[in-house]
Structure 1
């Protein structure tokens, strides 16, 4: 019998000064399954070990941390994404073909959603390895639900260009799509560039367009603000250096 591939969500506090109590962010059932796994495919081995240490504080690991087998996705997968052809994740699932259950984990949130991992999931389906998504936090869905924007029709567009002219063009393109179709446009930014993106959006978007920004989700200092760009221009305050989700809509 083959093992299963478990998609294990991680808390959203990666890179944050504050860490939420793990059992408040991730359901106990998810932690119990994660605690019995010994093979992992991960975005970063160091952060995965830190996560496993936190799990061990709630549910003792069946396999000691030093004996856990952690396999990192290649660095080029992080940079270019793994949702298209060009990367074969089949070798990463060798243990599953030998009967071992494997966990797929990213640094924060749900693996393969706004994070690498889709190639591993595709390979599992091709090999006949059962894929089991576990319950846990997803920053995109939490931000969308709290935005007041259209949750029936939305798109995640990843990171916006860093270069100012290209970013402005992309923002206007996304805004036109949102206003024409009603489709909410979601994007993210790294913590140290969130304020730069906030300023760019406020400067570029039309004054009646609605902009929602969610930072520090699931943490004590979480902030979720949704208002027209006109109001952002009047009362907008700088964002903290924290993971953020931006939503554009009407």
Structure 2
């Protein structure tokens, strides 16, 4: 048994632009899947029009609430299967994603893991930011509590100025505008902030500006998938 880590698009209707042939081949070879969302995964495979009979496939949910035993039992039950695919809700499995659990258990059991190339908003944002790609950290979500979030932003801004390490983080889409306001307010005026919004979509953009410049014209990021970066 081998585990395919199968990326999927991060923007709608972009499969033909962002998915390399290796992903299509892997999907054609795979009949059993661990997926973050069954409905989304079924639609993703179906829309590729690979001639796969969706009803013949086996899916098991692997989301933030999935326990290790569920994955272990799935591997044991389907140990005779040649390939098992792991599919995220969007982007690359295992990167800021519950798929990491499937990979961790596979590594513990000496099951071969095959990561496939595909879109990652984190890496695409870093690539387009102009910030250091030699030293960077993905923070995940900043604290929800206002005071704690402000302290974290101040700390990240100081770390960038002192060490030059790029700081990457995300927010729930409906709180994007509030986060940008906090970044503008708490970062030094000359600090550079990059916003990677709707990456790979026709409406997407990756822009880096000083905090003071973002303050003059704040984009509306409400309910849009975004990556935020601080760097130099």
- TM-score, normalised via structure 2 length: 0.93
| Equivalent residue runs for 1:1-250 within 5 Å | 3-13=1-11, 19-55=12-48, 57=49, 59-61=50-52, 64-73=53-62, 75-77=64-66, 87-88=68-69, 89-95=71-77, 97-250=79-232
Alignment match, 1:80: none
Q: 1:210 to 1:75 in 2, by over 3 A?
A: closer
**Uncovered stretches (5+) of structure 1, i.e. residues with no partner:** 14-18, 78-85
Q: Which string of whole-angstrom CA distances, capped at 9 and with x for unpartnered residues, describes residues 42-64 of structure 1?
A: 11111111111122x2x222xx1
Higher deviation after alignment, 152-161 or 19-28: 19-28
Deviation at 1:205, TM superposition (A): 0.9
Q: How many residue pairs get matched?
A: 231
Deviation at 1:87, TM superposition (A): 3.6
Deviation at 1:240, TM superposition (A): 4.3
Q: Which string of whole-angstrom CA distances, capped at 9 and with x for unpartnered residues, describes residues 149-200 of structure 1?
A: 1111000000111221111111111112111111000001222221121111
Higher deviation after alignment, 42-51 or 96-105: 96-105
Q: For the residues of structure 2 that align with 1:219 and 1:235, how far apart are their CA atoms?
A: 22
Contact 2:2-2:112 within 8 A present in 1 as well: yes
Q: Which string of whole-angstrom CA distances, capped at 9 and with x for unpartnered residues, describes residues 126-153 of structure 1?
A: 2221100111101100000000111110
Q: For the residues of structure 1 that align with 2:215 and 2:62, how far apart are their CA atoms?
A: 41
Q: 1:151 to 1:75 in 2, by over 3 A?
A: closer
Structure 1 segments (4+ residues) deviating >4 Å: none
Q: For the residues of structure 2 that align with 1:165 and 1:8, how far apart are their CA atoms?
A: 38
Contact 2:37-2:63 within 8 A present in 1 as well: no
**Uncovered stretches (5+) of structure 2, i.e. residues with no partner:** none
Q: For the residues of structure 2 that align with 1:194 and 1:40, how far apart are their CA atoms?
A: 32
Q: CA RMSD in A?
A: 1.6
Contact 2:153-2:186 within 8 A present in 1 as well: yes
Contact 1:39-1:69 within 8 A present in 2 as well: yes
Contact 2:14-2:200 within 8 A present in 1 as well: no
Q: For the residues of structure 2 that align with 1:6 and 1:225, how far apart are their CA atoms?
A: 33
SS at match of 2:51: coil
Q: For the residues of structure 2 that align with 1:203 and 1:249, how far apart are their CA atoms?
A: 16
